[in-house]
A and B are shown apart, each in its own frame.
Chain A
Amino acid sequence: MKSKLLNGNEAAALAVKLARAQVVCAYPITPQTSLVESIAGMCARGDFPGEFVNVESEYSALAYTIGASYAGARAFTATSSQGLAYMHELLHWAAGARLPIVMVNASRALGAPWSLEPDQLDSLAQRDTGWLQFYCADVQEILDTIIFSFRLVEETGIPCMVVYDGFVLSHTHEVVELPGQEQADAFLPAPPGRTALRTDRPQNIQAVTDYRYVSRVLQRRHRDMLKVPALIQSLAQEYADIFGRNYPLVETYRWEGAKWEETEAVIVAVGSAAQTVKSALPSFSGQGDKMGLLRIRLFRPLPKKEIISLLAQPRIKKVVIIDRDLSAGTGGIFAQELRAVLQGSPFQGDIYELNLAGGVDLTPNLLHRGLAALDRGGDDDGSGIIWGVDLQ
């Protein structure tokens, strides 16, 4: 293993190479573009094991990836924002057909108006498509999660979306431990090559059927999803044995010397914002709050059991959920999901929402102002949201 300075898109491209993806089909869109360029460049230099296919749109990109996956290839695609929205119909198809596809989404706000800011609504709006979703916090985690996901999708037959913040991670260079090919091969066996398309046995696949079959298919998909957190935990141990890094379903953090068991207030953050919270936590230590961070890494399926066991403790009086997305008229999506998980649990505390929709940058100063605003209550529009944009 060697250390290298890489940005998120470069690390993602190298992970796809290490995973020996056989077909990559994608259409460039900012901020994902340099990932596609990087894979296309490796391909042009003869330094990539698979085939790179350029198409005219994201819709075709996922359609081609689905075709490749039906044919038994280890397949990958990547997009952002409007591109992911354009794929929407086929996201359902890939999940319904149980195709082991891995996709990257570099988060970017949806228009209108046009924006390149790292709002996460693009992937969160796809939460019900039946894909697994990971949200990465740094560049190392992008590389590891992509390699990991290829194994996960092939064991479960559930496609996986690896999400990371546009620019904040896609374009930030930092030091990454680059695994060797032999490590990747030890974790990820050769592609199984199970093909649904056989010329010696022509057949119609996923043909029209009625509710009796469809409802069974959906029930099975639900039950298979529920088994995923436990599978991830066992694969994560295997991954750690080979690569030396163990990623939990949800990460907890307090600063040096502070125990989670003493936490009385918890900030819930997702993606790169979590590291800003980590760096700022020591500055809250003198204020009486015993504050900790909970980072949701796996969003689909949401690891409810783990979240409840970490948050539903009598000593935890306050949970502040940071969302960089908005379901207009309702609020942040992570906030909705956590409220639903904690409903009916022994959690007794108050829930606050700090909303950074539109890609508001979470600086340590903004976090301080957000927490200072908790006691004043949120917006008097009735939603109780504390808006990041009002704190700048």
Chain B
Amino acid sequence: MSAEDLVEVRVHGRGGQGAVLAVTLAAEVAFRNGYYPQAFPFFGAERRGAPVAAFLRYSSSPLMPRCRISEPDCVVVFDPLSLPAETFLAGLKENGLLLLNSTGENLTAELKTSPENKVYAVDAAHIAAGCGLIFSGEPLISSVMLGALVRVLQLAPQEIFSKALLGKFPRYEGENLAGAERGFLEVKEVLKDAIFR
């Protein structure tokens, strides 16, 4: 028995954006859909606003490695304009997935992805604002990115996903559940040429 269907995800965010919450709740969804998950933060001291990473690993077998993730199957970026592309693309597998918080049009960075990489975008800031997830003038995009991540990984069907999240958000449950659902429904695969001008 070994983890042959192992999936490894790395999420890039900034301290306070909820990257750790997103992977923890994604692990909750994975668990409710029958997987063995691990969710863990970057090993270090977190500071609000500073770049952080969080990790998700899941498989149908509990026999998974227990180390940091350096060659992810999927990379999620909360704030693509704040990080050099080579930082968040580091180690992404050739057939890996890239999920960006983006309108799909506002990225000008030159992204060197492989032809097999699939790129997805979700306009998380806009959706979060629409769900009332604005606090201290900043959109809280964690639940929207979580919904989009569950969709692109095909981690669980929508009904399992929504049920798994009930009672799990520490605050603003209604707004976050709405944000997660819209992230799930509105994430789109984008043509790389269109965004990587």
Identify the A interface with B (CB < 8 A).
Answer: 3, 5, 7, 30, 116-118, 138, 166-168, 171-175, 255-256, 272-273, 275-276, 278-280, 282, 361-364
Contacts and interface: CB of A to CB of B under 8 A. Distances in A.
A361 B40 contact: no
Contacts of B39: 5, 172-174
Interface stretch (B61-69, B97-105, B133-141, B175-183): B61-69
A85 B67 CA distance: 26
Interface string B40-77: 11011100000000000000000111111010000000
26 contacts: A5-B28, A116-B43, A116-B45, A118-B43, A167-B40, A167-B41, A167-B43, A171-B40, A172-B40, A173-B24, A173-B27, A174-B27, A174-B36, A174-B37, A174-B39, A255-B1, A275-B65, A275-B66, A276-B65, A279-B64, A279-B65, A280-B65, A361-B67, A361-B68, A362-B67, A363-B70
A168 B41 contact: no
Interface of B: 1-3, 24, 27-28, 31, 36-41, 43-45, 63-68, 70
Q: Could you tell me the dominant secondary structure of chain A's interface residues?
A: loop
A166 B44 CA distance: 10
A278 B64 CA distance: 8
Contacts of B28: 5
A80 to B, nearest CB: 13
B69 to A, nearest CB: 9
Contacts of A7: 40
Contacts, number: 74
A257 B2 CA distance: 12
Given A273-B66, A275-B65, A173 B40 contact: yes
Contacts of B45: 30, 116
Contact of A276 (B1, B37, B40, B66): B66
Contacts of A278: 63
B31 A175 contact: yes
Q: Could you tell me the dominant secondary structure of chain B's interface residues?
A: loop
A279 B24 contact: no
A116 B28 CA distance: 27
Chain A CB count within 10 A is highest, among B1, B31, B67, for: B67
A276 B64 CA distance: 7
Given A30-B45, A173-B38, A175-B36, A279 B2 contact: yes
B59 to A, nearest CB: 9
A276 B67 CA distance: 7
Given A3-B31, A174-B37, A175-B37, 6 more contacts: A117-B43, A168-B43, A173-B39, A272-B66, A275-B65, A276-B67
Contacts of A167: 40-41, 43
Contact of A275 (B24, B37, B63, B68): B63
A9 B191 CA distance: 43
B40 A275 contact: no
Nearest to B61: A279
Contacts of B3: 279
A30 B36 CA distance: 27
Nearest to B20: A171
Contacts of B44: 116
Contacts of B67: 168, 276, 361-364
A118 B44 CA distance: 10
Contacts of A361: 67-68
A362 B28 CA distance: 26
Contacts of A175: 31, 36-37
Contacts of A168: 40, 43, 66-67
B35 to A, nearest CB: 9
A279 B64 CA distance: 5
Contacts of B70: 363
A236 to B, nearest CB: 21
Contacts of B27: 5, 173-174
A362 B40 CA distance: 16
Contacts of B36: 174-175
